[in-house]
Amino acid sequence: MEKNNFKADKDLVLACIDGNKQAITALVKKWHVPFCRLAFYYVKDKEVAKDIAQESWKVILDKLASLQEPEKFKSWSTSLVKRKAIDYLRSDQRRVLKLQKLYAENRGETEVEENREEAILNYKVILSRELKKLPENQKVVVNLFYVQEYTLKEISDLLHISVGTAKSRLFHARERLKKIIKTYIV
């Protein structure tokens, strides 16, 4: 097998265009590490820089035949690598922005949920405090009706009052609590 000693990029590029596999290997050996370094300069990640260099090689080798001035291979190929690195940064930045937006939305939902839970807790505290302020006869009826789930008939039998009186006490307790709740809601 004949060994070719290519001195300039122009000679390597022309040989690559002609299909010389050794020239392709020599071109890659000569420029792969500088491409990785260039990509690393932009992305600051060794593995990503290697991927960018690899992707750049695919494009370079596909478009090499369209390079009209083979002596300008260095500037042409390095600008291609640079563009790939910048494209990566842009897409990475978009990905980061999407993640930040998603996080903010989720955080917002969490804050809304936390605020809702806090409001419910405050509401329960207020309601409990206001229930204690009710007159004893209303407090007993509310407790029997809502907490222990007695019917109005059972409450009237238990307290030895009429069903109408049980209804009346429950009604007045609810009205008083409604007024109090409205002041806290508005």
Residue 38 tokens, joined: 């260039």
Say how far apart CA 147 and CA 125 lie, in whole Å: 16
User: 40 and 49 in contact (C-beta within 8 Å)?
Assistant: yes
User: Which amino acid makes up residue 167?
Assistant: K
> pLDDT tens per residue, the chain (186 residues)?
344 555 789 999 999 999 999 999 999 999 999 999 999 998 999 999 999 999 999 999 999 999 999 999 999 999 999 999 999 888 877 777 777 777 776 665 566 666 767 776 777 777 778 888 889 999 899 888 888 888 999 999 999 999 999 999 999 998 888 887 777 654
Report d(CA 95, CA 146) in Å as an integer. 52
**How confident is the model at residue 6, as a pLDDT?**
57
Q: Report the predicted TM-score, pTM, of the whole model to 2 decimal places.
A: 0.52
Q: Give the pLDDT confidence score for residue 12 in this predicted structure.
A: 94
Dihedral sign for Cα 53, 59, 63, 65, please: positive
Give the per-residue pLDDT at 2: 42
Contact in structure between 122 and 181 (CB atoms under 8 Å)? no
User: Would you state the pLDDT for residue 4?
Assistant: 52
Exposed/middle/buried for 99, CB within 10 Å: 0-12, 13-18, 19+?
Answer: exposed
